[in-house]
Amino acid sequence: MIITTLALLMLAQEGEVPRTETPRPQARSMTITKLGIVATSQTLAATAGAKVLEAGGNAIDAAIAANAAEGLMEPNANGIGGDLFAIVYEAKTKKIYALNSSGWAPTGLDVGLLESKGMKKMPNLGIYSVTIPGAVAGWEALHKKFGKIAWNQLFDPAIHYAENGFPVTEIIGAGWKASQKKFEMSEEGKSVYMPGGKIPQVGEVFKNPRLAKTFRQIKAEGRNGFYRGPVAEAIVAESKRLGGTVTLGDLSEFQPEWVDPISTTYRGWTVYELPPNSAGIAALSMLNIMEKFPLADWGHNSTKALHLMIEAKKLAYADMLKYVGDPRFSKVPVAEMLSKDLATKHAAEIDLTKASCRVTPANLISMSRLPGADTTYMTITDAEGNMVSLIQSNFAGFGSGVVPQGVGFMLHNRGGLFTLDKNEPNTLAPRKRPLHTIIPAYMEKGDTRIAFGIMGGWNQSQAHAQFVANVVDYGHNVQWAMEAPRFTKASFDGCDVAIESRVSEATVGELKKMGHEVRVLGPYSQAMGKGQAVMRNAEGVAFGASDARGDGAAVPQMPAFWKK
Active site residues: 375
Phi, psi at 418, each rounded to 5°: -65, 165
Phi, psi at 176, each rounded to 5°: -60, -50
Query: How far is the C-alpha of 484 from the C-alpha of 476, rounded, in Å?
Result: 9
CA atoms within 13 A on the CB side of 477: 18
The answer to whether 422 and 111 have CB atoms below 8 angstroms apart is yes
Query: How far is the C-alpha of 533 from the C-alpha of 377, rounded, in Å?
Result: 9
Query: How far is the C-alpha of 541 from the C-alpha of 215, rounded, in Å?
Result: 35
Phi, psi at 251, each rounded to 5°: -80, -55
Q: Measured between alpha carbons, how far apart are the two ends of the chain, in Å?
A: 45
Minimal CA–CA distance to 431: which of 110, 87, 205, 186?
110
Query: How far is the C-alpha of 248 from the C-alpha of 246, rounded, in Å?
Result: 7
Minimal CA–CA distance to 182: which of 438, 395, 376?
395
Angle between helices 229-241 and 209-221 (to 10 degrees): 130
Left, alpha or beta for 275 (phi > 0: left; psi -120 to 50: alpha)? beta
Q: What is the DSSP string of 353-370?
A: TS--S-------------
Give kind and range of the element (H or E) at residue 55.
none
